[in-house]
């Protein structure tokens, strides 16, 4: 169901005051975002964990500064059943009063590595405003999500003393697979339990039109080592009779796709989703597809992106061209990343992928599969009271009715939220737009989108206070 068209005359005096508080507090929100982006909080193992701790401390200080929460702490949970702890997360809580619902607000403060700094138009951790966008690693994904929650809470508190329960969970390792996420939920279940969960880590249809994300693909990623020989040999002496590992890899990789680029792995499913129309040229422009390069797959563009599987080789371990010698390579390794259509479990998809790889290993090449990462897809129930409130709040804050959209990316931990809190409604919102370039050089946050996202969430929180726990209107 689409939200009603926005009508400024329909806003209550309280709602107008909430949006006015968002406007008045936006400079502070932008300053908060700028300060957070300056911290290189990459959560991957090869990077300095002290910077992730510094980022958590900065977020905790901002949460304390709202004056709303009864308790703010930095917590770390074990990774699975091991003694190793995950990266620091911020947990801030406020109990509900008067029988009002509780809302859990999620975002993450860790960021992707910045890659080749030469590809950035500005230094990745020197936030720079250009043409209404703030450039920097994490400026959008997902430190803008963190700031959206904090600024919305501050605006709400400027207008009224909220009776809703609030739990703020700002994770510190989403970009590294949320390895301690499930244990964190288990250890803090009572503090995190909510009627409504808002995950601010997704996209918007455009800089002028908001989205409520209702479908996400899952993921299966794994490393594959391909070995054909016990040692390297001279390519002139043995080439033409002895299969090298790169030859085996090339033929194995080619088996993953049909000639049109669609996935050829038997057993990977497609979902039956209704999708809006989008032109091929729109996608070409968004993704910077070069002239003369054809798109891959078949069917409507958004069906390919939201409802069909994809397979991408994201890394290869092999000698570089400067280090190449006339040698038959005995072994090599690659990383395969696949996206799974909604409706299929990641475990079933992995089984299909493993069968395919082993069945198509050429020349009897030996395969070793390691570092398997699974994340289930997700379909949002957009019929509940939380979704209806969110869509109307978006319409009123943005001045445009939202689109119920899918995304090709994955948020695997949502399955953990569903498992731990089966009675909660889950909404996936976000502050990104098609020009954000998250995970890429020159990531940026559109400041108009940020202000409208804060306004929509502040209205959502205010209107949630009009309901009783469980969601019934008062």
Buried b / exposed e over 109-137, threshold 16 CB at 10 Å, is: bbbbebeeeeebebebbebbbeeebbbbb
Average pLDDT of the chain is 94
Residues 109-131 pLDDT 10s: 999 999 999 999 999 999 999 99
Quote the pLDDT of residue 177: 86
What does the pLDDT average to over 47-59? Answer: 98
Quote the pLDDT of residue 1: 37
273 pLDDT above the threshold of 60:
yes
What does the pLDDT average to over 211-228? Answer: 95
- Give dist(CA 361, CA 120) in Å, integer: 39
Burial class (CB in 10 A: 0-12, 13-18, 19+), 29: buried
Q: Considering the entire predicted model, what is its pTM?
A: 0.86
Residues 190-201 pLDDT 10s: 999 999 999 999
Residues 324-369 pLDDT 10s: 999 999 999 999 999 999 999 999 999 999 999 999 999 999 999 9
Q: Please, what is the Cα angle at 411 between 469 and 53, to 5 degrees?
A: 90
What does the pLDDT average to over 249-268? Answer: 98
Angle, in degrees to the nearest 10, between helices 26-37 and 143-159: 150
Quote the pLDDT of residue 268: 98
């Amino acid at each position: 169901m689409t939200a009603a068209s926005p009508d400024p005359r329909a806003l209550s005096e309280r709602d107008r005051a909430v949006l006015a508080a968002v406007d008045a507090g936006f400079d502070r929100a932008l300053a908060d975002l700028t300060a957070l982006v300056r911290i290189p909080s990459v959560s991957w193992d090869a990077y300095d964990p002290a910077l992730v701790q510094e980022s958590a401390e900065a977020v905790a200080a901002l949460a304390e500064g709202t004056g709303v929460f009864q308790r703010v702490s930095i917590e770390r949970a074990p990774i699975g059943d091991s003694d190793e702890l995950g990266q620091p997360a911020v947990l801030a809580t406020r109990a509900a009063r008067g029988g009002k619902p509780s809302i859990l607000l999620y975002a993450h403060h860790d960021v992707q590595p910045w890659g080749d700094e030469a590809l950035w138009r500005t230094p990745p951790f020197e936030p720079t405003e250009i043409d209404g966008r703030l450039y920097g690693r994490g400026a959008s994904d997902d430190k803008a999500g963190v700031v959206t929650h904090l600024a919305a809470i501050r605006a709400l508190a400027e207008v009224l003393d909220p009776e809703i329960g609030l739990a703020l969970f700002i994770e510190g390792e989403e970009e590294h697979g949320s390895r301690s996420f499930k244990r964190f939920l288990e250890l803090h279940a009572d503090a995190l339990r909510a009627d409504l969960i808002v995950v601010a880590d997704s996209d918007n249809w455009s800089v002028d039109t908001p989205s409520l994300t209702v479908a996400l693909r899952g993921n299966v990623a794994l490393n594959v080592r391909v070995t054909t020989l016990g040692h390297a040999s001279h390519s002139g002496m043995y080439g033409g009779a002895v299969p090298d590992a790169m030859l085996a890899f090339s033929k194995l990789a080619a088996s993953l796709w049909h000639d049109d680029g669609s996935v050829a792995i038997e057993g990977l499913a497609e979902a039956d989703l209704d999708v809006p129309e989008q032109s091929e040229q729109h996608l070409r422009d968004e993704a910077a597809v070069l002239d003369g390069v054809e798109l891959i797959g078949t069917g409507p563009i958004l069906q390919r992106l939201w409802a069909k599987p994809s397979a991408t080789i994201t890394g290869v371990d092999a000698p570089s061209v400067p280090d190449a010698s006339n040698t038959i390579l005995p072994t090599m390794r690659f990383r395969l990343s696949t996206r799974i259509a909604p409706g299929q479990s990641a475990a079933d998809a992995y089984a299909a992928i493993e069968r395919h790889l082993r069945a198509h290993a050429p020349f009897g090449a030996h395969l070793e599969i390691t570092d398997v990462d699974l994340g289930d897809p997700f379909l949002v129930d957009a019929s509940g009271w939380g979704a209806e409130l969110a869509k109307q709040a978006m319409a009123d804050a943005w001045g445009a009715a939202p689109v119920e959209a899918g995304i090709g990316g994955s948020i695997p931990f949502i399955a953990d939220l569903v498992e731990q809190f089966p009675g909660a409604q889950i909404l996936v919102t976000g502050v990104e737009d098609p020009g954000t370039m998250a995970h890429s050089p020159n990531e940026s946050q559109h400041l108009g989108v940020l202000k409208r996202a804060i306004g929509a969430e502040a209205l959502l929180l205010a209107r949630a206070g009009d309901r009783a726990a469980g969601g019934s209107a008062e």
